[in-house]
Amino acid sequence: MGIFDVISSIFKKKPKIAYAKSQSVDLIELKRNPYYIVASVELGNTTTKSIITATNMETGKTYIVSKHVKMTRDVRPPKKGEEVFGETLWGVKLTREAVSDMVKEVLLESLKKAGLTVDDLHFVVRSTGVTAGFASPEEVGEMIIALAQGCMKAGVPPAKMTPAMTKDQIPKPFDKYSFLDKIIFDGAVTGVLPPTGKEVVANEMEGELVTAGIKVGSKWTDVDFRNPCMSIDFGTTLAGRITNDTLPYAKVIGNLCGLAGAIADAIARGSGKIDEKTGAALDLSDVKGKPNEELAKEYAEKMHKYIIIKEVPKDVERFGTVPVDPKAAEKAGTTLIGCDVGENGSDLVKLEELGRELVEKSDIPTLLCCLDYVMSEVVRRLVKLAYEKNLINEKSAIGITGRAGITGKKPELIVEKLKTLNIWDNVEENVVFVEDGLALGASVMARCMNCLGTPKVPIGGVRGGGCILSLRRKWQKERGMIRD
């Protein structure tokens, strides 16, 4: 390398990674302008949270007003006479009453932090990521009921959890932003039709919400995250979707399932610094110090020998602990891509052992560095497989959200690893990282269900394209869904 190359490398501008951090808005601004306020209430395997979002209906930008998060392991134990309907991935038992109490608490606390009341909410969206520990659709149904009961205990009327049927039912001043007099809500969220037939993966709604959330979150960056795209949510379990670029609606051609943050949690439990059963990588987040990067890389490679990323086999009912229906997926034209450790998490204990071994040789900062290398490699392998299966191409955008995908050095490592796949000329223009993707998705879901849109800032349609309202009207007319 010559002297001019050295000087050039020193002053060369580092590529900007598109990272959409949650944007806030104050109470005065919230009361002054037409902000559509939505509460996202989610009970996950690791955290239970209520996040209040507000969308400025003039600009289409969505802000985080407040959030309250509790560890799901702190849900109260079942009381005498309460029936346990399921448990989290880590074995925390759940009853309808205990879940509803937790939901009520987090929702009211998030409102209190924001200086708002239930009356200020325009809509509430409920979701769960605890489907991995469930054995049947009935248990999932119990969870949905428990979430609804918690919201009602907090004072939320059922009308704020169901879509309006006509424009007249939309509260002022938001009725002027609704297109219910022109189109109907046909199930499409952010220009993507839901898969037809039986549910192909238990966390289908999570995949839908995070895809929508990344789309709206990306508006704070220069990345146009619309169809075709691949969303990856690294909560405790893996969720996400792959869409094509058909108009007016894209189709879901891929679904992600299996283990994600659970991988990081298992490794973190090897540290000996957190609870051996319910401890999470989040519990180590405040640790500082210089890591041994070479040792971290070495152990990340060892750990990936136990991590399986592949198309979900047709003959299984679970993959990575998550209930799946591969035959229904095939019928719907959807490819299931899964991430597992052993068989349904059977080798998570091996990752824990390697984590323990790494800490004995080095320290906690090195363990956290190892987590970054492990999870960034999971992303590379997922994207590589999707590309090999012809589910994504150079036109596709990649969006990542969730605690195990956007913290630490993961974003920059992921970008560097994706460059090795040679799919895009400029990776930075096609990859975006978004905080609170699921909560942002809840805000979009609420608006889509009530046909509340901002045509000048579209979130449906294809990358680089315009609003698809006229195409949607034509599509619905051709099917007799609406008339002139």
In tens, the pLDDT along 167-211 reads: 999 988 999 999 999 999 999 999 999 877 777 887 888 899 999
Q: For position 155, what pLDDT does the model report? A: 97
Q: For position 203, what pLDDT does the model report? A: 81
Q: For position 473, what pLDDT does the model report? A: 94
Q: For position 125, what pLDDT does the model report? A: 94
Q: For position 221, what pLDDT does the model report? A: 94
CB-side exposure of 419: number of CA atoms within 13 Å? 12
The rounded average pLDDT for each run of 10 residues, N- to C-terminus, in the chain (484 residues) is 38 68 83 90 92 92 94 93 87 92 97 95 89 63 89 96 90 91 92 83 88 95 97 95 97 96 95 88 83 96 98 94 91 95 97 97 95 98 98 98 94 97 97 94 93 90 94 94 84
Q: For position 162, what pLDDT does the model report? A: 92
Q: For position 346, what pLDDT does the model report? A: 97
Q: For position 179, what pLDDT does the model report? A: 93
